Structures are given as structure tokens and as C-alpha cells.
Chain A
Amino acid sequence: MDPITFSIIRHRLFRIVDEAVITLKHVSGSAITNEGHDLMVSLYRADGSLLMGGVGFLHHLTSAAEACKSIIWRFEGDINEGDVFLLNCPYTAALHTSDIYLIAPIHYEGTLVAWSACFVHVYDIGAMNPGGFSPDSVDIYTEGFSSPGLKLVDRGEIRRDIMDTLLNMVRSPEMVALDMSSMIACNNVARDRMQTLMAKYGSETVDTACASLIDQSETLLRERLRELPNGRWQSRQYFDVKGETYRVLLTMTKKDDQLTFDFSGSSEQSPYGINCSKWASWGGLFAPLFPLLCYDITWNEGVIRPIEMIAPEGSVVNATRPAPVSIATVGAIQAVNNAACTCISKMLSASEKYASEATAVWHGSHFAIFMFGRNQRGTDSIGILTETFGGAAGARAIGDGVDVGGEVPNPISRMANVETMEWTFPIRYLFRRRQQDSGGPGKHRGGTGAEFAIVPHDAPDGGIHYVISGKGTDYPMSEGLGGGYPGANSNYRWVHNTDAANDGANLQPFAQALNDMPGEKENIAWGVYPLMDDDALYVRWNGGGGYGDPLERDPAAVAIDVRGGLVSGGTAKDVYGVVLDAGEVNDQGTVKWRQTLRAERRIGEAAE
């Protein structure tokens, strides 16, 4: 094939995915899709293998490939033009029940030539708790509607019996219907554009280009791996749920042009929904691998071929049915994301050529807080506080992490503005801002997380409730790199104002900090809580990991951070070793103080 035609077809495939994503967003009505970008669209080959990975949450790219293969197997002989299939069973291919895959075959002149697949986190899936994350569930049976595969659209006609059954099992069925419509529309656009592409260039030419594209990705990744040193690197993640501590231990081995991710030594599966299935871990390790190792390589089956995974059955990273998994995407999968990010970055750090690509962990711990109740318009509202998608960038070899700078597994994540959230739910924000001392200290500082507080406002029922499935409160999860410290922990406080209300003091309506709020401040992380009457909810989310020794940070940069309120004076002196006078660097004092700190460091026991 001539290289010009190949490049044009490759580029058209990118654009098809882009246009399908735009369609998904335009039809969807939920903040989690439009603002949080908790979505994914990709193209697959006729055999279900990944052809063109799209944006959104990248751990879905490979899982949706397994979903396509499962549909091909289950519906063999009954796959027709215009069909759309639904799959959301985590023990078949999905990550958790609320991330529904809609998968559509693409035919050209009567022949199945490709698939498109997409997901959104639907408004609700009928689990014990509203919104999909279901901390009260102790098995998969209570995590809502779950299907290993069904035909939702038959030759272009929606099967009303199937759709109505699904909508009969969920809260806010009108919003779930809109979610489904957005995904059907997305797949329709992908199919139409693929057919147009084949009409222009011919199906055989396009097919040849697609096969070449996959081979090209494999070749390029294997070449890159051969440029990197052989070795093995480890990373460990701790996460806490209801007083129990779980570990994800990863040993990544690179030999020649192969990478093996071995999760042996990780904790046994949990009675809580933070587990994930095998395919979820598989997707979880690719989420950082795609952007860190394949930033200039097309994300497809070719990238997958050099990779192997070992995940012990019955562990938190390969749970067995009927273990609960509804929290997986912000539980074990995210720990897999983080651990893989660290191991890959350690390997990159051992290469002169690629060291600049290394990064500390970004936004190690999502916080899933789903609000539910009647809103100010008297209708039901269920949805996530999208701040969790705001994230915090890890520091890199080349510079500081971006404050509230997103996350590696989703290159397009973002959070909604305050007004959107106040319109969606009967709440009012007291404040929302970057969090001081949350970015992991280092030669390059991790990006800060942030903090905010909300109170009920204009609520017909006096307030609203929320489901929280947080972690990262006991152990920081945004690991540093090359000596950098991890980003700070997350923290969630339910502020009860009972005493203040009894005294007539009520909630301080213009509180600008947690300390300004009267009443008891109770740490919470798991379960359902009220935001009623005089309650408030305070959230502080984690910062990104730091890179390098904090004592090597440019003192002027520390001073800027202090003046900007991002680093406290105490941390500037104790951690960064910078002496400030009225906000300006005391050069001589800093040199002497850093010498003192280094001398103290050398007076210690050998690690052995």
C-alpha cells in the first residue's frame, strides 16, 4: 500500500472516533459524560481486536475488545447490519455494571468489516445504592442490572421489550434512556463514517490499511522496548476500606521486546466492591501504558501483543464471581493504573533517551460521591460530583505537575464549574480552591489537589443525600518518583451542625475554610450520608506525586509557591529547606539550612 493512502486512512480512523465522541457528548445530558468525560469510544476489527483506541478512560479500550469478542461468540450467526448489543457484566468484560458497553457491528456491502464500541457511566443501574457505585453491596447480585450480552437494537429497530425492561430496573429511567440514546447515536456515526471511508477507498484497501496499522504499532512498540534497558521494577499501592488495608503489588519485568506485569503478592479479594476482574486489571495496566510508552504510536492490538499479565485468581485484581466490583474503577483498577504508571516511569528513568517521559503518579485516588434526591425543580437528580475528574498532575522529570491537572488514565478528564453543579443539585458551594501542601514535594512539585465544601440549598426535601466510596484517606496513593514524596491524602468530612443549630448559631453561611464551620467534623469515606438541614460536606482531594529530592528544588520556585498559598511556610523550611524572609528567599540562610538537613540525613542506619 502506498504510504499516502495509508496515512489518509489512518487519519480518517482518528477522526471517526473523534466525531463519534462529539456525538456521544451532544446527545448525552449528564454531567459525568459531558463534563467529567467518563466515556470511551473505539473502533475494533471484525474479530473484535482493537483497531483504533479513542480518548476517555483508557482502561476501557482493551475491555471493550473482550466485550466485542464475547458478543461475536454469543451471537454467532445472528449478527446483522443495524444491530446494537449491550454488555455490562464485569465477569465477562466490563469494568463494573454502571459502565455499559454498547457494541455495534459495521457492515459494508453485506459483510461484517468492523465494530464500534462505546460506554458511558449511566445515571443509574439499579444497584443497592443510587448511581452505580454501591458500597453497601457485598456481592455482584446486588450491584444492579448485569448482562453478559443482549441485542438492544435489531436491524435498526430498538427492541422495546429489552429497553423497557432495563429502564424498569433503574432510577431516573428518563436519564438512563438518554444515556442509551447517546451511545446508539455514537455508534451510528461511527458506522456511517466507516462505510463512507470504505466507499471511497474500497473495503479491501481499508482492511489492508487497518491490518498494517496494527502491525505498525506492534513493530514500533517492540522497537521502543528494545531501546529500553532490561530489568524489573516494583510498585506497591495501599488502599483502605472500612478499616481494612489492601495492597496491590506489581513487579514489571522487561526483557528484550516483552513486558510482563505480575501482580503476585496482591491482597486477596475483598468483601467490599473495590475488587476488579481480570479484564479490568488488564485494561488498568494499559491506561498508563498507552500514553507513557505509546504517545506517538496508534493504540491498537499491536500494542497489546508484546504485553503479558499475571494476576492471581481470587485476588483483589482478579476477583472471582460473585465478589462485588461496583467500586472497581476507583478501587483496584485505579491502584493498577498507579502501580503500572510508577513501574513504567521507573523503566523510562533508566534510559537517557526516554527519562524525560517519566512521571510520578497523577491523582492516585478518585473520590466517587454520587448525590441523589429531589432537586430544586422537584425532579430526581442522581449524579457524581465531577470534582473527582479534576485530578492533580504528577511531577515529571521535566517540570512540576499541573495543579488540578487531571489524570493519566483519562487524557480528557475535567470537572464541571460550580454553577453546573449548583444547577444540577440543590446545593451551594461555600468555597472551592487549590489545596495548600497537597502537591507531593520534590525537585519538581506534584500538582495540587483541591478542597471544597457544599451545603443544601433550595431543596424541597430540606437537602439531599450522597453515596461515598472514597479511599486514599489513610495512605497516599499518588506515589512520588526518584525520591519525590507522594501527594497528600484525600479527606472527607461530614460536618454536623447539631449543636450549633440547637444554639441558634446555625451553619456559618459564608465559611471560607473547614475551621470556620461550627459543629462536629466526622471523617467519612464509605456509605450513604445526609446533606440535610444544617449538614455540610467538606472534601479535600489528593495531590500529584513529586519528582526528585525536595532539597534540590529551586528556592525561588518554593518562594513563589508560598506567596501563592500553595505551600506553607513550615513545609518550605522543613521539607524544602528554604529559609524565607518576608516571602523572599534568604540565600545564605537556605544554603546553610540545606547543608544542615543533608548532614542530618547521612547520620542514619544503613538500610540493611
Chain B
Amino acid sequence: MTRILSATLVRDSDDAIACAGCGHALGPAGQPWKPAAVLSEVAMKGLGGAPYSAADDALLRRFLCPGCGTLLDSETALPGDPFLEDVVEA
């Protein structure tokens, strides 16, 4: 029995947070999951085409599934700012 936690994450039958696509586990339910994802920080400038004329220090953080490479979440960030933390209680 799984329960959705976000557009890309589920809580699996072992009470773990998992990728909805491949089931790769990302840690226990009720805890931050982003540290277990693959992090890709890319410059915002030009990212989605020419109109992305962002400041040089603007980043898009991409949190990727280590199992299947699905993009699980993204957030605009400046270097050094902490990850946004989303926690659905177990």
C-alpha cells in the first residue's frame, strides 16, 4: 500500500519515502528526503531558453532520483541557502 507524498514521491509499504516512478527508497517517512537524492545545481541563466536572463548567481537546484534519474523536485536558490524542507508526517 503506497500513499502519495508529492507529485513525484510516495510512501511505500515499508514506510519509506520512495520515487513514484521506480520505487527507489530515499529514507524513512516523516523525515527530509532531499539529502538522499542526487543534486544537480545548474545556472538559471539560459536554462530554459534565451528569456532565462537571470543573475549570474541564480541557480536551479534539481533533486534527482538515484534509481531512474527522474526529476523529483526543483527549487530556485542562491549558493549557500539551505534546501527547502518539505515533510509529510508519517
Chain A residues proximal to chain B, CB less than 8 Å: 229-236, 238, 240, 245, 247, 346, 349-352, 355, 358, 397, 435-438, 440-441, 449, 473-476, 479-486, 488-489, 491, 540, 543, 547-552, 567-568, 570-571, 575, 597-602, 604-608
Chain B residues within CB distance 8 Å of chain A: 3-8, 34-40, 44, 47-55, 58, 60, 62-78, 81, 83-89
Collect the chain B residues with CB atoms within 8 Å of residue A604's CB. 38-40, 64
Contacts A358-B7, A441-B48, A483-B7 given; does A549 touch B70 at CB 8 Å: yes
Is there an interface contact between B78 and A245, defined as CB atoms closer than 8 Å? yes
- Of chain B, the residue at the smallest CB distance from A473 is B53
Chain A residue nearest in CB terms to B27? A608
Q: Which residues of A contact B8 (CB under 8 A)?
A: 482-483, 548-549
Residues of B within 8 A of A440 (CB): 48
- Please, which residue of chain B has its CB at the minimum distance from the CB of A345? B7
Contact A571–B55 (Cβ < 8 Å): no
A600 and B71 alpha carbons, distance in the complex (Å): 12
What are 24 A-to-B residue pairs whose CB atoms are below 8 Å? A233-B86, A236-B77, A236-B84, A245-B78, A397-B7, A437-B51, A438-B49, A474-B55, A475-B58, A475-B76, A482-B7, A482-B8, A483-B63, A483-B72, A484-B74, A485-B74, A488-B48, A489-B51, A491-B53, A575-B47, A575-B49, A601-B64, A604-B40, A607-B63
Given that A234-B86, A476-B44 are known contacts, is A482 also in contact with B37, CB under 8 Å in the complex?
Answer: no
B47 CB contacts on chain A under 8 angstroms:
485, 575
Decide if B51 touches A488 in the complex (CB within 8 Å).
yes
Chain A residues with CB under 8 A of B48: 437, 440-441, 485, 488, 571, 575
Q: Which of A437, A474, A552, A607 is in CB contact (< 8 Å) with B83?
A: A607
- In Å, the complex CA distance between A547 and B4 comes to 16
User: Which chain A residues border B75 with CB–CB below 8 Å?
Assistant: 236, 479
Report yes or no: B74 in contact with A488, Cβ–Cβ below 8 A.
Answer: no
Give the residue among A397, A436, A567, A608 with the most B Cβ atoms within 10 A: A608
User: Chain A's nearest CB lies how many Å from the CB of B88?
Assistant: 4
Look across to chain B and name the residue whose beta carbon is closest to the beta carbon of A444: B7
Q: Which residue of B lies closest to A230 (CB)?
A: B89
- Of B36, B38, B67, B68, most A-chain CB atoms within 10 Å: B38
Find out whether the CB atom of A606 lies under 8 angstroms from the CB atom of B84: no
| Contact between chains at B69 and A476 (CB < 8 Å) | no
Contact of A435 among B38, B51, B77, B81 (CB under 8 A): B51
Chain B positions within 8 Å of A238 at CB level: 58, 76, 78
Q: A605–B63 Cα gap in the complex (Å)?
A: 10
Query: Which are the 5 A-B pairs with shortest beta-carbon distances?
Result: A437-B49, A482-B7, A608-B35, A598-B69, A488-B51
- Which residues in A have their C-beta under 8 angstroms from that of B77? 236
Least Cβ–Cβ distance between A394 and chain B, in angstroms: 13
Question: Which residues of chain B are within 8 angstroms of A607 by Cβ–Cβ distance?
Answer: 34-39, 63, 83
Q: Return chain A residues, CB-CB under 8 Å to B7.
A: 349, 355, 358, 397, 481-483, 547-548
Total A-B residue pairs with C-beta atoms closer than 8 Å? 173
Q: Considering the complex, give the chain A residue whose CB is closest to the CB of B66.
A: A602
| A486 with B60: CB separation less than 8 A | yes
A interface majority secondary structure = loop
A606–B83 CA distance with the chains assembled, in angstroms: 13
**Closest chain A residue to B64 by CB distance?**
A601
With A and B bound together, what is the CA distance between A479 and B76 in angstroms?
7
Q: B40: nearest residue on chain A (CB-CB)? A: A604
Is B51 within 8 A of A602, CB to CB? no
Is the CB–CB distance between A476 and B76 below 8 Å? yes
Of the residues B34, B73, B87, contact of A483 by C-beta under 8 Å: B73
Contact of A349 among B6, B38, B71, B85 (CB under 8 A): B6
Partner of B81, one of A235, A236, A489, A600: A236
**A262 vs chain B, min Cβ distance (A):** 13
- Answer whether A229 and B38 are a contact pair too, CB < 8 Å, given A488-B52, A601-B69: no
A474–B34 alpha-carbon span in the complex (Å): 26
Q: Is B86 in contact with A488, judged by CB distance below 8 angstroms? A: no
Tell me if A606 and B36 are in contact (CB < 8 A): yes
**Residue from the set A247, A397, A474 with the largest chain B CB neighbour count within 10 Å:** A474
> Measured between C-beta atoms, what is the minimum distance from A96 to chain B in Å?
26
- B38 touching A234, Cβ below 8 Å: no
Residues in B with CB closer than 8 Å to A491 are 51, 53
Q: Would you give the shortest CB distance from B2 to chain A, in whole angstroms? A: 10
- Determine the chain A residues whose CB is within 8 A of the CB of B60 once the complex forms: 485-486
| A255-B34 Cα distance, complex, nearest whole Å | 22
Q: Which residues of A contact B78 (CB under 8 A)?
A: 238, 245
Contacts A238-B78, A570-B49 given; indicate if A601 touches B38 (C-beta within 8 A).
yes
Whether B35 pairs with A606 at a CB distance below 8 angstroms is yes
A488, B49: Cβ atoms closer than 8 Å:
yes
Minimum C-beta distance from B76 to chain A (A): 6
B56 CB → nearest A CB, Å: 9
Q: Are B4 and A489 in contact (CB under 8 A)?
A: no
> B62: which A residues are within 8 A, CB to CB?
483, 601
> B38 contacts A602, CB within 8 Å?
yes
Provide the bound-state CA to CA distance between A336 and B1, in Å: 36
User: In the docked arrangement, what's the CA distance between A606 and B24, Å?
Assistant: 14
Chain B residues lying within 8 Å of A485, measured Cβ to Cβ, are 47-48, 60, 74
> Do B51 and A438 touch across chains, with their CB atoms under 8 A apart?
yes
A606 to B65: give the CA distance in the assembly, Å. 10
B5/A350 in contact, CB under 8 A? yes
Q: Which residues of B contact A549 (CB under 8 A)?
A: 8, 70-71
Which residue of chain B is the closest to A568 with respect to CB atoms? B49
Assembled-state Cα–Cα distance A486/B59 (Å): 11
Q: Which residues of A lie under 8 Å from residue B73 when comparing CB positions?
A: 482-483
> Known: A350-B88, A550-B71. Is A605-B51 also a contact (CB below 8 A)?
no
Q: Which residue of A lies closest to B77 (CB)?
A: A236
Instruction: Tell me whether B49 and A436 are in contact (CB under 8 A).
Output: yes
Closest B residue to A602 by CB, please name it: B69
Return chain A residues, CB-CB under 8 Å to B39. 604-607
| CA A599 to CA B38, docked complex, whole Å | 12
- Closest CB in chain B relative to A100 CB, distance in Å: 35
> Which residues of A are found within 8 Å of B63, using beta-carbon distances?
483, 607
For B89, what are the chain A residues with a Cβ–Cβ distance below 8 Å?
229-231
A555 to B88, CA, bound (A): 33
